[in-house]
Amino acid sequence: MELRKEDIQVLRTKSRATSQVTFDVDYNVPDVKPDIGRMVQNKGDVSVEEVRLSDGHAFLKGSLQVDLLYVGEEEGKVYSLSAKLPVEETMNLEGIVSGDKMCLRWEIEDLSLHLIHSRKLNIKAVVTFYAVVDELSGIRLPVSLDDETVSVQKKQMRLLSLAIHKKDTLRLKEEVELVSNKPNIAELLWYTLEVRGLDLRPEENVVKAKGELFLFALYKGDDEDGTLQWLEHSIPFTGEVECSGCTFDMVPNLEASVINQSVEVKPDSDGEERIFVTDIVLELDIRLYREEDHEILMDVYTPFRQCIPKCKNEVLESLLVRNFSKCRVSDRIEIKETQGKILQICHSQGKVKIDKTKIVKDGIQVDGIVQMKVLYIVGNDDMPFYSMEVMMPFSHVVEARGITEDSVYYFHTDLEQLSTSMVDSNEIEVRAAVSLNVLVIQCIEEKIIESVEEQPLDTEKIRSMPGITVYMVKQGDTLWDIAKKFYTTMEEIISMNSLENDQLTLGQPLLLVKKVES
């Protein structure tokens, strides 16, 4: 008895691991840099140069770059310096072998710099690495039987099948030229580069990306006094990566992370240093699903011989919901009086950190914070630049009707909008919009028939059964179960009892005639 089967592809997590690397190092200010009088702002960036997988282990090699913007102790001018701290870490990933593909993310949990004295810093940081190794698995779904004499019970299901799984990189390189009233660039002191409002979507044979690059650059002008200048610029971008077989109607689960970024200065057509070149590399983890309808064989029987289905439990996936939600956050921040009155806000940057998520009725509750840094100028000519860090907590419920504890969900968060404005010389108002996009997959455990074994009927059991029976329908009975129990067929019961369909009511009498002779 042959089963005809249809194949679907699913992605299963083979292994996952989390590892923390702690830094606590003293760093000497390079001789070419002046003494540190006051620290203004710092930033950190992780670069992973090498990943090697072997049996049960992943070896990472890279660095943590820490940058500091500071005011010199003597002249009161602004300077910057960089420290590169090496990272080597081995992560235990049970079951993996060389050749597996690993998805690696990292996050700088804490970064703090403390001034020991004007020539020495203490740098503390915690970097958390998250590694996941997935493997592709095929499930064979029985959909029909080659024997027409055998009755079959089918179930209609709309399932997700993984069509494409790949990793790729998208490079965004843009140029920003200074406006004519700005002096040329003598030295680039500080920059931040952020991607906001990133929209990834599948189209025919490509995955398209669009969003905005936000550049802030603080530089020393080449004028006589070497004045400090800054630039804020928003650059809309579009890009695409090849993705053979991709179509616009596929269900996307797309992750993007920045793996490399830089800002450099280059001359314009007149040979003057007036152009910033931004270069950012995004790593895309592309998972695209196809929704397919399947009529799955759930049970088989015939009154004329014993059919024993051999089953295996499988977890099938179906799309429950995709939801694009937005949460708005705002706060007012007071500036310390000792710093002086605010004259101007130079720049604000931020990122979203999700602390926890939990399933609630018809939704997912998300608790997190928007972490911000604000660079501003106060009315103090000696040391005008100051920076402050702002933490804005938020709690938001993303609607997901029908979600259960068995559901799997994927969150994609993005800081879509960020603005800071002066309320007065002592207070700043901060507004942010956080996009919370979720894909919810319902996981259904089903017994899937792998094969059907045939055996002769139990003649003693059949002989003991009456040829004609009047059966009273009990709670939970189906026509299929009754026909199977009394060695008849659903069609025979419907015909014999003049039923309009296969729906039964509690206590309903049914005339049953055994089709097989003892």
pLDDT digits (tens, 9 = 90+) for 255-269: 999 988 999 999 999
**pLDDT value, residue 382:** 60
pLDDT band at 189 (very low <50, low <70, confident <90, very high): very high
pLDDT attached to residue 380 = 65
The pairing of beta strand 306-334 with beta strand 342-360: unpaired
Find tokens 């590892």 and name the residue: 19
Task: Look at residues 138, 195, 169 and name the one whose alpha carbon lies nearest to residue 286.
Answer: 169
Reported as a pLDDT band with limits 50, 70 and 90, residue 513 is: confident
SS3 track for 289-325:
EEEEEEEEEEEEEECCEEEEEEEEEEEEEEEEEEEEE
Name which of 73, 74, 84 is nearest 39 in CA terms.
Answer: 73
d(Cα 223, Cα 272) in Å, to the nearest integer? 13
pLDDT at 100: 83
- Asked whether the predicted pLDDT for residue 516 surpasses 80, the reply is no
**pTM for this predicted structure:** 0.87
Output the six-digit token pair for 11: 């992605």
Q: Which of 155, 163, 131, 135 is nearest to 58 (CA)?
A: 131
pLDDT in tens, 406-459: 899 998 999 988 999 988 888 899 999 999 999 999 999 999 999 988 888 877
Count H helices and E strands in the chain, helices first.
Answer: 3, 20
Weakest mean pLDDT among 56-65, 390-399, 463-472: 463-472
Collapsed DSSP state (helix, strand, coil) of residue 493? helix
Tokens of 40: 């203004």
- Residue 501: both structure tokens together: 């369909």
pLDDT in tens, 329-377: 999 988 776 667 888 898 999 999 999 999 999 999 999 999 999 998 8
Average pLDDT over residues 142-160: 90
Q: Looking at residue 383, what is its pLDDT?
A: 58
Q: Could you give the 3-state DSSP secondary structure of residue 505? A: coil
Backbone angles phi, psi at 136, to 5 degrees: -80, 135
Tokens encoding 452:
């059907």
Token duo for residue 438: 């979720």
Q: Tell me the average pLDDT of the chain.
A: 91
Confidence of residue 460 (pLDDT cuts 50, 70, 90): confident
> CB of 420 within 8 A of CB of 348?
yes
**Per-residue pLDDT tens digits for 266-311:** 999 999 999 999 999 999 999 999 999 999 999 998 888 888 899 9
Structure confidence at residue 146 (pLDDT):
85
Res. 518: pLDDT tops 60: no
Nearest to 284 by CA among 135, 193, 412: 412
Alpha-carbon dihedral sign for residues 90, 95, 98, 102: negative
pLDDT value of position 462: 78
Share of the chain above pLDDT 70, in %: 98
pLDDT score recorded for residue 517: 60
